[in-house]
Structure 1
Amino acid sequence: MNTYDKFLPDDIPAWQTPFWQSLKSNKVAVQRCEACGTYRYVPKELCPSCQSVAAVWAPVVGEGTIYTYSVIRRGPTEAFQADVPYVIVHVTMAEGFRMVGGLLGVDPEDVKIGAPVRVRYVHATDDWTLLAFEPA
């Protein structure tokens, strides 16, 4: 079993389970409103555009461009501190919505807004796969 000493999701509502299962299978899926087609990331019970509760879990391409980013120079715990500096990116996905995750494999000084990235699956433990990004 893998050990992982950073934060992991806690107390996930049942209706968000398909998102985490999609990561574990390396095929990210995001809620899409059945009424208006809006993607719901992070998963929500109601559509932010039309307030519909109807949604499907739609696979996404997993590619996008960096919209903005932050360089973290002081980690929230000792486990994160070992990785500083590291980068958190907001990515505009090919489908038009934004996702947030760590950016792996890039020196923080080399990060550029508009750079193409793709989803990278981080198998943190046997039970948890997390979403990150890497250069495309």
Structure 2
Amino acid sequence: MTYGPARALPGDQIKITTNPDTEPFWEAAKEHKLTACQCGACGKFRMPPTPVCPECGSREKNWPTLPGTATVFSYVVCNKNPKNGEDYVYVPVVVDLDGAPGARLNANVSGCDADDVYIGMKVVVDWTPIQDGWVLPNFKKA
């Protein structure tokens, strides 16, 4: 089956909530900066962010700005919008973030045909405005 162009889900259909552990990620995204939670004690990256480092138990966190590039770790091709069931090709991915060893992020890939996405594909961050003034990092082929 040929799917055609992959698109990001429409931003007006996406709403997020934040908490003290995730808000630095979302605030950076508003400025089109990609970041990941890094333990302030041992340096291990973790995404999604958690209150305590699973490696050393520290509560210290750093939020370094990352280069905005990644590698597709896993993906799936979907052909229905999850909100309303309309035909809509999107490709949810899990990416390994460059500059943050061990950190993975769930996102979408757009800007290429869904059939062209593959594990190991290099991608670059692309920003999608969503509800309430937030911005969602998605990715496009590098």
Under a length normalisation based on structure 2, what TM-score does the superposition of the two structures give?
Answer: 0.83
- 1:20 aligns to 2:26 (yes or no): yes
Residue from 84, 90, 109 that aligns with 1:86? 90
Paired letter, 1:131? P
For structure 2, the 5+ residue unaligned runs are: 1-9
Residue from 6, 13, 34 that aligns with 2:13? 6
Q: CA RMSD in A?
A: 1.9
Deviation of 1:13 after TM superposition, in Å, equals 1.1
In the TM superposition, 1:101-120 aligns within 5 A as 101-120=107-126
Relative to structure 1, is the Cα distance of residues 4 and 108 closer, same or farther in structure 2, using a 3 angstrom cutoff?
Answer: closer
Question: What count of residue pairs does the alignment treat as equivalent?
Answer: 131
Relative to structure 1, is the Cα distance of residues 13 and 73 closer, same or farther in structure 2, using a 3 angstrom cutoff?
Answer: same
Under a length normalisation based on structure 1, what TM-score does the superposition of the two structures give?
Answer: 0.86
Secondary structure in 1 matching 2:95? strand
Secondary structure in 2 matching 1:5? helix
Deviation of 1:125 after TM superposition, in Å, equals 4.3
Spell out, residue by residue over 1:4-26, the C-alpha distance to the aligned partner (whole angstroms, 9 max, x if none): 5313102x213422111100001
Residue equivalent to 2:135: 129
Secondary structure in 1 matching 2:80? coil
Relative to structure 1, is the Cα distance of residues 60 and 92 closer, same or farther in structure 2, using a 3 angstrom cutoff?
Answer: same
| Seq. identity, % | 31
Structure 1 runs of 4+ with >6 Å offset: none
